[in-house]
Each structure stands twice: as C-alpha cells, then as structure tokens.
Amino acid sequence: MQAIKLIRFGKRVSRSIAIAVLVSGCASGLSRDECNTADWRTIGYEDGVQGRSEARISGHRKACAKHGVALNFEAYRSGWDEGVGRYCQPGNGYHQGRRGKSYSGVCPVQMEAGFLQAYREGRELYDLEAGVQRTARKLKYKRKHLADIEVDMRDTGIELVTAGVTTERRVILLDELRKLEQKRAATKAQIPSLEAELERQTNRLATISSAHEY
C-alpha cells in the first residue's frame, strides 16, 4: 500500500510544473478548454499540500464560471484532503516555520497539535535568525558610521591647522570638531551593547538549534 502511494505521489510530482501553471491560471482566468479538461483532484491536492485554505476553490469556481463550466467539487475536495494530510505532517510544520511561512489553520484537529508544535519550533529559529541578522546590520552600520565620523574629524583637523585659514573659519571648524566628537562618543557608546546583544542572540540560536529534533 505504501509503495502504491509513493508511485502515485511520484506521478504527481512529475506533473508539478503543469499543475502550477494551471493553478496560477485559475487566479487570472482559465480558458474554456482549460476548465473543461482541468484535473480538479490534482489541483485540490496541490492546494492542500501547499497549506492553502479550502476557500481557494471559490477562485477556481469563479474563473471557470465565466465560461459556463462547473468544477468538480468532490474531486477537488478529495485531492485537497490528501494534500492537507501531507502538509500537516510535523516535519513539514517545522519546515514551514523555519522558512517564516504563515499557517492558515487548515490542519484537521487530530493532526494540528503535532503540526503546530513543530511549526512553532521552526518559527522560533526563524525569528531568532532574523533577530541576529538585524543586530548584525545595526552593528555594521554603527561601526561604519564611527569610521565616517573619524574621517570627517581628521579632515576637519587638517583644515584647522592649514596655513591661511581665517579666524572666522577656525571658529567654525572648532565647533564642527566639537560636534563630531560628541557624535563619535555617542556612537562608540552604542557599539559594546550591540556586540553583547549579538553574542547573546547567536548563543541562544545555537542552543535552540541543537535542542530541536528536526
């Protein structure tokens, strides 16, 4: 029985490109021939295995209704149920969460608890990684900003001691140096806390990753 299911699944995979085109076409408007020849069970399966709500069928129905063609709801629902059964496996739940995908509540009650537990574990890692990336970007920006300030201070200092600079200009340059020094001090003060936060987040990410079974 398992071998038969795998064979059937393999056939579906081999048709995945054609099905993807057909499903996307439902949203933009299928031709009369496409609606007449649509494999609604396979379309339902593809929607289900992607975790799409059963309500998606209304879009398919409207697309074909324009051509006076009625879809086969029973075939669609049969395929959708099978697709959802595959989608709601815990391993896939973890995979969906890990990618930061949303969950639209399609899993049946008897499968939802296991799916959600795995989904939350994956989503936790996704959120932690996003936090690490945000902090790393902030730290990189602060370091670059500090370097830019120091370049401006150097250039201002060089001009300040250049021969021929007027007294009025020197006053302006001294004020600019004072402001740049304040900016430098404020920026330098922010860097250690960002470094500590990045280390904390990275360590937590490593700890959580090693604790997950998927």
- Would you say 163 and 104 are in contact if contact means Cβ atoms under 8 Å apart? no
- Please report, for residues 67, 85, 210, the alpha-carbon distance to residue 127 in angstroms, rounded to integers and kept in the order given: 45, 26, 16
pTM for the whole thing? 0.73
Q: So what's the pLDDT on residue 63? A: 84
Question: For 191, what's the count of Cα atoms within 13 Å in the CB-facing half-sphere?
Answer: 14
Q: So what's the pLDDT on residue 30? A: 59
Q: What is the mean pLDDT of each run of 10 residues along the chain (214 residues)?
A: 40 40 43 83 93 85 87 93 97 97 96 97 96 98 98 96 94 97 98 98 94 79
